[in-house]
Amino acid sequence: MDLDLWLDSVVGECALLERPADLLRLLPDLTGDAPVLMSMSLADEQQTVEWGFPVRFSHPLRAVLAPFLLKHLEEFLQGNQRERPDMLSPEKLGREPLVACLVGLLGEASMHGPRCTSSVLLEVARQSSLLLVGDEQEISEAAGAGSVGLEAQTKALNALEPTKKGEVLGGVAYALCARLSAAMQVAQQFNGAVQPTRLYQALVKNKMALVVPGQEFDADALLPVAAAIHGVEVDEKLLVGLHHAVRAAAMEGLSGKGGAQAVFRALAQGRTGVDLLALEPTIASWALHGLSGLVGTRQLKKAGVSGGQAKSILRGDGTGSAVAL
């Protein structure tokens, strides 16, 4: 599979990215760590052919990952706090079934290079995020492996309001990152070839990919969850309203004819996806500071911003704090 086809295949699965150039701009080292994709025939009635990579360890991983998620979901839904750092040493965590499984998988994968190590990390993220969202097939597979309580717990999780849901997911992500870190450190003690890859560093830093599966971008639903996962305390309505305001400014900036619009297009550098542009810190900051030169109250209200909030945003109330987010 050549690089251009690989990039096109990956971008085709992204909710926000439109071009390979956008992908490489965000993740310039991606092609060095990501698994090689191959044409695979799926076992369905249509004999669908898709790009992917084979995973031969999904069942043993699920057998220890599902009970881990069930345990921590139950605890966080009951209001328990995140584990203390002194409880998360590799020596203590190394005795857990999930960590022991990951140590073996990472050690074996490291002998074949970072791309193979990435397949382990990506499968962890795929399984955990789908289990937490209540994916029917993953829940069924987990129940077959003995974790029969996950369906009820994920229903309770997904019934929570966004910020509370994000707090629970943030706790689970924190716990899972601790196990990944412990597994990496223990594996290194036995095999010097085991090294933290760039994908590993991105996963434990961002955490969201471990608990939220790929899906269409819905700002109202996802932004409060994302903020809570990362421990950012912000009013849900303010956060979503600011995003809709920046999105409206992006739409005007791409199509308008004034000087401010010309500056916006220069910042966009040929990109046209308004949701992606509205999430980029540099563009969002510029748009908030120059909002009144791009849009008015009527345009903001049409974009989904309440009348009072639209006037407040145009006056610049709280803009400095918003930019800091």
Would you state the structure tokens that stand for residue 133, as one six-digit string? Answer: 């969202």
Comparing CA positions, the residue from 263, 325, 324 lying closest to residue 293 is: 263
**160 or 15, higher pLDDT:** 160
Query: Which residues constitute the domain of residue 30?
Result: 3-52
Final residue of a structural domain among 185, 216, 247: 216
Same domain, 208 and 130: yes
pLDDT tens digits for 191-207? 888 888 888 888 888 89
Residue 322 pLDDT > 60: no
Task: Identify whether 198 is part of a domain.
Answer: yes
Chain position carrying tokens 């199509």: 255
Mark whether 164 and 290 lie in a shared domain.
no
| Same-domain status, 68 and 196 | yes
Residues 156 and 212 in one domain: yes
Asked if 66 and 212 sit in the same domain, the reply is yes
User: Are 85 and 141 within one domain?
Assistant: yes
The verdict on 82 and 142 lying in the same domain is yes
Residue 193 and residue 264 share a domain: no
Residue 185 and residue 90 in contact, taking contact as beta carbons nearer than 8 Å: yes
The band of 152, judged by pLDDT with boundaries at 50, 70 and 90, is very high
Do 89 and 200 reside in the same domain of the chain? Answer: yes
Strongest mean pLDDT among 128-142, 274-288, 296-310: 128-142
Higher per-residue confidence, 10 vs 150:
150
Q: Is the pLDDT of residue 320 over 70?
A: no
